């Protein structure tokens, strides 16, 4: 409680302290002179080890500090060279050869070598590190076996350093999104020599990520980590692409409270907000008064409710479908969430350049009533009172309240709401002590498999108790399919099964809502909420 309160009050105090005097320069103005970008970054990061961290506040900072083999283009999200200056792909698309830059260096001046990548990937696959994202590497041959200790010799895993600047990777299947993965923090290199100076290479609690110890290979490096105040990064003078960087310093403020964040932006304490949401009721105000600062971008991510299919009444697919039909999604996104979200009828988001799922159902109250009657609850009679579980958040609460009313009006069933703190909520989901729970999935990479694989019967993210052998088989086939056409057809079959079985109820596709000062240049909105600060610069207003 105390810490939370402090986090809430501190930024306020700062704002009032800075905001009062007319003469005082705001951070935003100071930033133009010193080339410093001030960023609101959500909650305080836990730790910055790219192999063990999971949150997006950590990820935002790591993106500036580390660099994988590839990067992504701001606008198109197509892979561009990172530490690897080029790569060759074999005919069957399962064997990659990466040619690393000679001038890629760590922030302590050491060269970045192919062996660094081999060491790093061995590190994250080592069970003692137990990174939550280790599974991202399972596309590599034998990586999963090594992770599960079925093989002990890492040389059997499909990663080889041929020489200092050449790295080869053998995949299990042609994985069209593999180059995208290389930009994920689980694939970032770490400096073994430095880590071993501070303890064991495979110890997740090794203090090498402390601000005075950490060494990284990206455009920026750590300078100050003042817990609960700010993290400051400065330009890494050893970085290979000096001419690409325009800024000298990045300051990340931990501002958890959405209202405080908006106030900090309004008073000129930050140039931009990095968390993809903002206070709902403020959106309309910005639309009207300050539209050029408001960035709204549909995202490759889905907001859905999931059913506990092991419990009555949701063990019946007809009941699950009835509830899905009985939601007025258009009103929900226009009147409740208000951030430009798009109604969704599938787990998988639309991708105009790739696979978009077919719309298999609609908002249809008559159909919903018929399905519920068929399942033995005509006009909701005999339907037990069920609970919606959600984690503490204003938007989740409003969505739950709205659905509660919509279901009551349409189907005459009683639903109660139940909120829990994030970690308790997660364990309730895992232990299946819920009826209906809210959930969301934000893509780790731009591919439908990232969504569909949540509902693998053995997936650690499938908390519905729903299992379907045919579905599992379709996804496995998709993994080894060689052409896009074949993959997309399999995805559509999986989508069809999800509709028929309805273990989850799609509600809408998220949209990212950010405040960005119009003077910030080269900040491009994209569906992955992917922002590299290397390219960011200011168009300084000509005031002086």
**Interface contacts to other proteins, rule CB under 8 A:** 1, 259, 279-282, 284-285, 331, 335-336, 392, 394, 397-398, 400-402, 404-405, 416-421
Shortest spacing between CB 420 and other proteins, in angstroms: 5
Q: Quick one: 490 or 515, whose CB is closer to other proteins?
A: 515
Q: Quick one: 284 or 486, whose CB is closer to other proteins?
A: 284
Asked whether 78 and 529 are in contact (CB, 8 A), the reply is no
Of 244, 321, 281, the closest CA to residue 82 belongs to: 244
Shortest spacing between CB 324 and other proteins, in angstroms: 19
Shortest spacing between CB 422 and other proteins, in angstroms: 12
Burial class (CB in 10 A: 0-12, 13-18, 19+), 289: exposed
Shortest spacing between CB 335 and other proteins, in angstroms: 4
Instruction: Report d(CA 501, CA 303) in Å as an integer.
Output: 18
Of 270, 293, 271, the closest CA to residue 282 belongs to: 293
Q: Quick one: 416 or 539, whose CB is closer to other proteins?
A: 416
Shortest spacing between CB 363 and other proteins, in angstroms: 13
Of 212, 439, 157, 409, the closest CA to residue 308 belongs to: 439
Instruction: Report d(CA 351, CA 353) in Å as an integer.
Output: 5
Shortest spacing between CB 507 and other proteins, in angstroms: 15
Q: Quick one: 16 or 392, whose CB is closer to other proteins?
A: 392
Residue-wise over 396-411: b if at least 16 C-beta within 10 A, else e? Answer: bbbbbebbbebbeebb
Shortest spacing between CB 424 and other proteins, in angstroms: 8
Q: Quick one: 381 or 394, whose CB is closer to other proteins?
A: 394
Shortest spacing between CB 12 and other proteins, in angstroms: 13
Instruction: Report d(CA 54, CA 51) in Å as an integer.
Output: 9
Q: Quick one: 168 or 419, whose CB is closer to other proteins?
A: 419
Q: Quick one: 403 or 520, whose CB is closer to other proteins?
A: 403
Q: Where are the beta strands (DSSP E) in 244-328?
A: 249-253, 272-273, 294-307
Residue tagged 């050029």 (tokens): 292
Distances (CA, A) of 215 to 49, 124, 238: 11, 17, 11
Q: Quick one: 192 or 408, whose CB is closer to other proteins?
A: 408
Q: What is the dihedral sign for C-alpha 367, 368, 373, 379?
A: negative
């Amino acid at each position: 409680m105390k810490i939370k309160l402090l986090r809430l009050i501190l930024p306020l105090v700062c704002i009032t302290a800075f905001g009062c005097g007319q003469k005082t320069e705001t951070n935003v103005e100071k930033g133009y002179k010193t080339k410093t970008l001030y960023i609101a970054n959500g909650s305080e990061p836990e730790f910055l080890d790219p192999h063990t961290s999971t949150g997006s506040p950590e990820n935002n900072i790591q993106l500036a500090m580390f660099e994988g083999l590839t990067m992504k283009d701001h606008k198109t999200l197509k892979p561009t060279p990172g530490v690897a200056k080029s790569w060759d792909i074999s005919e069957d698309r399962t064997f990659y050869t990466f040619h690393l830059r000679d001038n890629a260096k760590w922030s302590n001046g050491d060269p970045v070598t192919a062996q660094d990548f081999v060491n790093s990937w061995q590190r994250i696959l080592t069970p003692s590190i137990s990174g939550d994202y280790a599974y991202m590497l399972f596309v590599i041959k034998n990586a999963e076996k090594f992770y599960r200790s079925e093989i002990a010799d890492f040389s059997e895993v499909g990663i080889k350093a041929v020489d200092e600047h050449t790295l080869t990777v053998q995949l299990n299947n042609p994985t069209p999104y593999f180059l995208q993965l290389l930009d994920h923090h689980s694939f970032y290199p770490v400096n073994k020599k430095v880590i071993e100076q501070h303890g064991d290479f495979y110890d997740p609690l090794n203090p090498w990520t402390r601000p005075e110890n950490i060494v990284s290979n990206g455009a920026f490096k750590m300078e100050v980590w003042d817990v609960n105040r700010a993290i400051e990064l400065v330009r890494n003078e050893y970085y290979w692409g000096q001419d690409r960087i325009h800024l000298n310093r990045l300051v990340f403020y931990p501002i958890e409270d959405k209202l405080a964040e908006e106030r900090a932006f309004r008073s000129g304490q930050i140039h931009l907000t990095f968390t993809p949401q903002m206070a709902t009721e403020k959106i309309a105000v910005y639309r009207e008064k300050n539209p050029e600062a408001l960035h709204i971008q549909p995202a490759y991510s889905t907001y859905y409710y999931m059913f506990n299919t092991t419990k009555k009444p949701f063990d019946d697919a007809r009941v699950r479908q009835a509830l899905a039909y009985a939601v007025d999604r258009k009103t929900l996104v226009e009147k409740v969430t208000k951030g430009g979200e798009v109604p969704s009828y599938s787990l998988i988001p639309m991708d105009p350049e790739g696979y978009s799922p077919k719309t298999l159902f609609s908002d249809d109250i008559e159909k919903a009533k018929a399905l519920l009657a068929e399942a033995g609850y005509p006009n909701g009679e005999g339907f037990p009172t069920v609970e919606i579980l959600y984690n503490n958040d204003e938007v989740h609460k409003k969505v739950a309240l709205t659905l509660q009313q919509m279901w009551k009006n349409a189907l005459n069933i009683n639903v109660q709401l139940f909120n829990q703190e994030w970690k308790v909520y997660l364990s309730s989901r895992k232990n299946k002590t819920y009826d209906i729970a809210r959930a969301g999935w934000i893509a780790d990479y731009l591919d439908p498999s990232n969504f569909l694989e949540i509902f693998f019967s053995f997936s650690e993210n499938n908390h519905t108790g729903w299992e379907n052998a045919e579905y599992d088989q379709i996804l496995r086939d998709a993994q080894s399919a060689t052409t896009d056409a074949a993959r997309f057809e399999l995805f559509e079959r999986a989508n069809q099964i999800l509709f028929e079985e309805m273990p989850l109820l799609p509600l809408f596709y998220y949209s990212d809502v950010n405040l960005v000062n119009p003077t910030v240049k080269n900040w491009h909105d994209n569906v992955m909420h992917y922002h590299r600060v290397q390219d960011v610069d200011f168009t300084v207003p000509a005031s002086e």
